[in-house]
Structure 1
Amino acid sequence: MGISIGFAAHAYTGPQANVAPKITYASRSQMLLVYWSTCPVAVVYSKSTDEVAAIARICERRNVPLVPFGAGSSVEGNFSSPHSGICVDFAQMDQIIQARPEDMDVTLQPGVNWVDLNNKIANAGLFVPLDPSPTAQIGGGMVATNCSGTKAMRYGTVEDWVINLTVVLADGRVIKTRRRPRKNCAGYNPTSLFVGAEGTLGMVTEVTLKLAPIPQDTGVAVVSFPCIRDAASAASTMIRSGIQLAALEIMDDLQMQVVNKYGSEAVRRRKWQGEPTLFLKFSGTTKAITSDISRVVTLIKPHNARDIIFAKSEKDEHDLWAARKEALFVMVSSRPEGTKIWSTDVAVPLSRLAEIIDLSKQDCSKLGLFASVIGHVGGGNFHTAMFYDPKDSTQKAAVSKVVHAMMDRALEMEGTVSGEHAIGIGKKDCLVDELGVETIDVMRGLENSLDPKQVAHHRNRLLHG
């Protein structure tokens, strides 16, 4: 590179820079196989806000693009580096700065894994009530994409739990977006600008999150249906009923067949029906859960539900839910050698959910390839995942057509092209169709005011011509 960053022990440059990013990108995100791009010329492993600010100042002076990197769990090319540049890897910024059980909040660095955090604060009877990929880092991809996961139906998305952020801007300035009370109406709300911005407005180096009490009791139930439209319709009925489910997930027949064949021993032992299946998670008091289960049984009957399976013990709960939690990773490991995965998501108003899932499943079935539907239907959000041979241009074009038809359909239904994956480079061409030119112009003005040299937001070319 020919530049000095003052703490070279944390950086890979020169020949190593050509190896380190490739290892990182390939090993951390098996799903990011569609949007492989140019590797950065150097990877810097920052350890503090001051170091991140120093990197930003150097890059801003020399017009070098910045690429923040968390755990690599994104699937839309969110951390891609199409113009090369410096990758700032937050893996070593993994400290819990201060947990405050009495205030029900915690301040931490961006590299903290949410599962590890919940394990460490469980003794205080508190948790972060989000449930994305187990590999996700809180201040990395979770804040950057405003992710959610299986519990969005009950607990919302990341933005609902962020109190404040410490952010390094593209020119190296450091800001704190708010103070620490849960309610705050002082001025604009800059916190919301950076949540979901994918690192294009600045790099998050500290996060303060609200915590929730761990529920007194939990329950899990699983029920299959003869077709995916029945399953989706049953899900919509349960959502509108007002039952306080913690999670409501859907897996199609292909996903169920995959977990039957390739899942963990506990999952395979159950011999699942190879049919579209809903996974339900209950939480609250034991009395409330018993009442909710009774209501669910009544609500799903008109939708041709098969027998519903209820967990009878904590181990049962774990084993039943494991089929859903393992689905993505089992699918990746079952991928035939030489194939790639194209995974995407959309979200629509609840009244259109069953229709779009049914139509998307029909499109997937016509491909003649492995193409499945899975999703967080409790939040009106679902995913498709398709295997294809990258050497076969016909296959790739067919998969691309299905993906774009799904996004077009979502927009026609007043939905969004991205329920939780954000935009990355994979969906940037759809953003004008969703938001309109005037809204994009406002976003462009915001980006240029914070980063006039396009050091941080260089990846999202859509917003600047």
Structure 2
Amino acid sequence: MSEDQTIAKVVAAARDFLGERMTQNASLREHHARGQDTYPPRTPDAVAFIETTEEAARLLALCNAAGVPVVPFGGGTSLEGHVTPVRGGISLDLSRMTAIREIAADDMDCRVEAGVTRDQLNAHLRDAGLFFPVDPGTSHCTIGGMCATRASGTNAVRYGTIRENVLGLTVALADGRVIRTGGRVRKSSAGYDLTRLFIGSEGTLGVITEIQLRLHGIPEAISSATCQFDTLAGAVETVIAVLQAGIPVARMELLDDVQMAGCIAYSKLEGLDAAPTLFFEFHGTPASVAEQASGAEEIAAAYGARGFAWATDTETRARLWKARHDAYWAALGLRPGAGGLVTDAIVPVSRLADAILGVKEDILASGLTAPIVGHVGDGNFHTVILVPPEPDGLERAWALDRRIVARALDLGGSCTGEHGVGLGKREFLVRELGEDVLDVMRSVKRTLDPQGILNPGKIFLN
């Protein structure tokens, strides 16, 4: 049987239980050909819009029996080619799985379907005085996708990444079995920690359909501030000193002078210069917030900060953080027509100055425009390398990307702090993890997905 005949057979069988939600519509297939990345798109053979765990399991069993690839798709916001169906097959879209199944306010946890977004969940939780803190910086990414890529974001310095905020998962395996990992308790020593195995597996081990999440109380007081510096070194040294002083900042974001120029133009930020800038946010009681802010301001002043500009009302804080969340689009606005290649390096906090100041030199040497922005409270920073439209533009951007990653690895860091491996970081894993570790990872993959149908081509070069 030819490949086209196999696909046709699977599509026909899936329509028995999905109906028109199993589609080969050209525009829908095109929409599922890539995420927000620079890799060549690849149109899937069909798109399946599932609405239940059972549907996901039935579709996986069907595809497994036929050897047809399945690529999970959530919000389509990934930056590393995770959702690109490089070998064709079925794009399994979970965006319609948007039920918030249970809120246990007394236990501060909840259970949601994979297609729920952070904003949707927090709107639902507001009246209960609770919130889900993991904030990757876009309102479109789904919680299932955040689990699959082990997402992080602006609040990670205080509340942790998605890994620390997930208690359990429902996962549909390649052969159609459905398992529930973890539970609702805050700790357990019962067997292997399969929850952490699937978090960050990028759809290569199973399809996450439901998530049990840890919640947090909405702080009594929240205060945000910006402070600007004459030098990038002063801003980075402030970050290190604030962390070493044990000040429990909720958010601490760095934007270099180039990124600030973009944000000022794109988000119409007033009263700020195109200079290295830190965005802070403090959570707690009014007294503790004041104490945290005073300590951070004192440290910043010692490293040449121009003083804090405070934002305590909700509207001003929201506008400030929206500008930070729109940093990618602001960066693209610096050179209309250019694409964006986003790096995702992370280093130990003590090596942050070596990393960022060294990367700044790399950028200047490359001749490219590449704003720096990052969640520096946990050592993670991004460069948005603007890919010029010249024939060698993408090649030059990738060369800079490799220099940045090499520098991070030399400093004891990682090629990816939160975006995941996908297609873009596969070449760095041998150096970072070693062949023995990759062999163990491949053996896990073969055990759970012996046919190799789950998101093939991702994480491993071969």
TM-score (norm 1): 0.94
TM-superposed deviation, 1:291: 1.0
Which residue matches 1:279? 279
Matched residues in 1 for 2:59 and 2:431: separation?
35
Flag the 1:333–1:107 CA change in 2: closer, same or farther, 3 A. Answer: farther
Contact 1:249/1:280, CA 8 A, preserved across alignment: yes
Matched residues in 1 for 2:334 and 2:29: separation?
25
Contact 1:133/1:149, CA 8 A, preserved across alignment: yes
Matched residues in 2 for 1:156 and 1:456: separation?
28
Which residue matches 1:10? 21
The match for 1:72 among 61, 72, 76 is 76
The match for 1:214 among 218, 237, 259 is 218
Contact 2:61/2:174, CA 8 A, preserved across alignment: yes
Which residue matches 2:4? none
Which residue matches 2:300? 300
Matched residues in 2 for 1:299 and 1:438: separation?
44
Matched residue SS, 1:362: helix
Cα deviation code 1:121-156 (max 9, x no counterpart) = 111011111111333444332101111110000011
Which residue matches 2:128? 124
Matched residues in 2 for 1:194 and 1:388: separation?
33
Contact 1:136/1:142, CA 8 A, preserved across alignment: no
Flag the 1:271–1:294 CA change in 2: closer, same or farther, 3 A. Answer: closer
Residue 111 of structure 1 aligns with an amino acid whose one-letter code is G
Matched residue SS, 2:8: coil
Which residue matches 1:89? 93
Matched residue SS, 1:347: coil
Which residue matches 1:319? 319
TM-superposed deviation, 1:78: 1.3
Flag the 1:399–1:243 CA change in 2: closer, same or farther, 3 A. Answer: same
Residue 345 of structure 2 aligns with an amino acid whose one-letter code is V
Question: Superposed, which structure 2 residues align to 1:21-60 within 5 Å?
Answer: 21-25=29-33, 29=35, 31-32=36-37, 34-60=38-64
TM-superposed deviation, 1:80: 1.5
Residue 8 of structure 1 aligns with an amino acid whose one-letter code is G
1:253 to 2:257 alignment? yes
Contact 1:335/1:387, CA 8 A, preserved across alignment: yes
Matched residues in 2 for 1:297 and 1:48: separation?
50
TM-superposed deviation, 1:36: 2.5
Question: Superposed, which structure 2 residues align to 1:36-435 within 5 Å?
Answer: 36-263=40-267, 267-268=268-269, 270-332=270-332, 335-337=335-337, 339-393=338-392, 395-435=393-433
TM-superposed deviation, 1:278: 0.4
Which residue matches 2:437? 439
Unpaired runs of 5+ residues, structure 1, are none
What RMSD over aligned residues (CA atoms) do the two structures have, in Å? Answer: 1.6
Residue 365 of structure 2 aligns with an amino acid whose one-letter code is K
Matched residues in 2 for 1:251 and 1:369: separation?
17
Matched residues in 2 for 1:123 and 1:99: separation?
12
Cα deviation code 1:368-416 (max 9, x no counterpart) = 33211000000100000011235521x2222111110111111111110
TM-superposed deviation, 1:296: 1.3
Which residue matches 1:458? 456
Out of 53-62 and 225-234, give the one that drifted further.
225-234
State the percentage of identical aligned residues. Answer: 35
Contact 1:146/1:195, CA 8 A, preserved across alignment: yes
Matched residues in 2 for 1:255 and 1:333: separation?
10
Matched residues in 2 for 1:232 and 1:244: separation?
17
Matched residues in 2 for 1:239 and 1:331: separation?
28
Matched residue SS, 1:208: strand
The number of residues matched between the two structures is 451
Which residue matches 2:3? none
Unpaired runs of 5+ residues, structure 2, are 1-6
TM-superposed deviation, 1:325: 2.4
TM-superposed deviation, 1:349: 0.5
Flag the 1:310–1:459 CA change in 2: closer, same or farther, 3 A. Answer: same
Residue 285 of structure 1 aligns with an amino acid whose one-letter code is T
